[in-house]
Amino acid sequence: MTTIDFIFLAACTLYIVQGTILIYGATRARYKKNLGNEPLLSVVVAARNEEKNIERTLASLSALDYPKQKLEIIVVDDSSTDATLKIMQRYSGRFSFIRTITAKQPESHLRGKSNAISQGIDISRGEIIMLTDADCAVPPSWAKAAMEYFDDQTGVVAGLTLLEYTSWFGGMQSVDWTFILAIAASTMSLGNPLSCIGNNFSFRRKAYNEVGGYRGIKFSVTEDYALFKAITGSGKWNYKYPLDEETLVLSLPCGTVKDLYRQKRRWGVGGKDMRFSGMLIMAVSFFMHALLITGYVLGIAWQLLLSGVLLKLTLDFFLVLVPLKQVHRTDHLKYFFAFELYLFVTVIVLPFAVFFGGDVLWKGRRY
């Protein structure tokens, strides 16, 4: 056996260990419910130039199966230049529990979405705050089911988000989201909170205030992750990431390769300060993919390379199968192989894009 063969076997072993742990953690992402828990709840949504999507979001929020006397929905216009504000005002005129405000210029280090969300939270009254995005649709059970995961010791409850797709490009992105969020749910169930998705994110107001809210944490282009990291890192609160169909949010995929690149790069830049265990997961994945891509040139035996590819596909498949099966969306698996080809590219390209790609461009703003 050559030295490079030995290195490749070491990479495969690490990937097996890591993948097995992550799959196991995903199967554990189930939590006891605090049935009947219905605290005063505030849902906050920030929107910037979302006239094509905001009505879909507000229609789903207005249909929430939650006691309306305990519910308020605050939608914040973030300097939109289209009809977003008018649509929001129309809904707040129809439903007494929906309130529309326009974000003011920030008085602190906050910018963009974090500024808008912060101002929405400022005027909210809820004991628990839920966040989603202006291009998402939530099920009627979303709020009620999420609240049942809160008890007195819980500060954060996250949830799964998938994408509604009409083509292979969107389906591939949805499997990618499943893969990423399966890792997040898995590690959280194992007591290692790494990340969550901000369009399906709820937290206790007391926990939010303790870290100083958005004004009290360093600005990030992924403001949801920064807040999640601050609360879970305080050590004062429990956290949960259930893979629950009743809290499943549906978002929309990026329409172009350029938009997808900008989204992935924004996530990567925002996650540069992730804890060591998260960086280790990414490093193992990078090492494995890099050797599979360059293995033939490096002289790795083709039998080993083929075995490595089959091994990787098997572990990745079961990692996305667990959440998709739990939320009854296994139809997404038909895009698994498209996702795997995409993953080979992003795992290698993204680190270089994150560290050498310049400013982040998102929603017409530069950060």
Query: Is residue 221 within 8 Å of 269, Cβ to Cβ?
Result: yes
The residue count for the chain: 367
Does residue 345 have a pLDDT over 90? yes
- What the block records as the tokens of 248 is 């499943």
pLDDT bucket at 208, cuts 50 / 70 / 90:
very high
9 and 60 part of one domain = no
Taking alpha carbons only, the member of 253, 281, 261, 254 closest to residue 345 is 261
The whole-number pLDDT of residue 167 equals: 95
The whole-number pLDDT of residue 218 equals: 86
pLDDT digits (tens, 9 = 90+) for 125-134: 999 999 999 9
The whole-number pLDDT of residue 270 equals: 84
Dihedral sign computed on CA atoms, order 57, 63, 69, 70: negative
Find the mean pLDDT for residues 328-334. 97
305 and 230 part of one domain = no
257 and 354 part of one domain = no
pLDDT bucket at 353, cuts 50 / 70 / 90:
confident
Q: What is the largest CA-CA distance in the chain?
A: 73
Q: How many CB atoms lie within 10 A of CB 153?
A: 10
CB neighbour class for 251 (10 Å; exposed up to 12, middle 13-18, buried from 19): buried
The whole-number pLDDT of residue 212 equals: 94
Does residue 112 have a pLDDT over 90? no
Query: Is residue 157 within 8 Å of 150, Cβ to Cβ?
Result: yes
- Residue given tokens 């519910």 in the structure block: 71
The whole-number pLDDT of residue 356 equals: 80
List the CATH number of the domain containing 80. 3.90.550.10
Task: Give the lowest-confidence range in 101-115, 138-152, 183-197.
Answer: 101-115
Classify strands 98-102 and 161-163 as parallel, antiparallel or unpaired. unpaired
pLDDT bucket at 72, cuts 50 / 70 / 90:
very high
Q: What's 190-236 look like in SS3? A: CCCCCCCCCCCEEEEHHHHHHCCCHHHCCCCCCHHHHHHHHHHHCCC
Please report, rounded to a whole number, the percentage of residues in the chain having pLDDT higher than 70.
100
Which residues, including other chains, have CB under 8 Å from residue 71's CB and lie 6 or more apart?
41, 43, 64, 97, 143
Find the mean pLDDT for residues 101-115. 86
- Final residue of a structural domain among 255, 270, 285: 270
The residue segments making up the domain with residue 231 are 39-270
pLDDT bucket at 352, cuts 50 / 70 / 90:
confident
Q: In whole numbers, what is the pLDDT of the chain averaged over residues?
A: 94
Residue 251 lies in a domain: yes
Residue 363 lies in a domain: no
pLDDT digits (tens, 9 = 90+) for 230-257: 999 999 999 999 999 999 999 999 999 9
pLDDT bucket at 96, cuts 50 / 70 / 90:
very high
259 and 286 part of one domain = no
Does residue 364 have a pLDDT over 80? no
pLDDT bucket at 198, cuts 50 / 70 / 90:
very high
Find the mean pLDDT for residues 54-82. 97
Residue 196 lies in a domain: yes
Does residue 119 have a pLDDT over 90? yes
pLDDT digits (tens, 9 = 90+) for 174-196: 999 999 999 999 999 999 999 99
Does residue 306 have a pLDDT over 80? yes
Residue 34 lies in a domain: no
19 and 43 part of one domain = no
Residue 104 lies in a domain: yes
Does residue 145 have a pLDDT over 80? yes
246 and 185 part of one domain = yes
Residue 85 lies in a domain: yes
CA-to-CA distance for 17 and 160, rounded, in angstroms? 24
Residue 154 lies in a domain: yes
CA-to-CA distance for 42 and 205, rounded, in angstroms? 10
Q: Which residues of 279-304 are buried (b: 16+ CB within 10 A; e: fewer)?
A: eebbebbebbbebbeebeeeebeeeb
- Final residue of a structural domain among 270, 289, 312: 270
- Final residue of a structural domain among 245, 270, 295: 270
CA-to-CA distance for 31 and 28, rounded, in angstroms? 8
Count the domains in the chain.
2
Residue 32 lies in a domain: no
Does residue 274 have a pLDDT over 90? no
203 and 331 part of one domain = no
Find the mean pLDDT for residues 295-301. 89
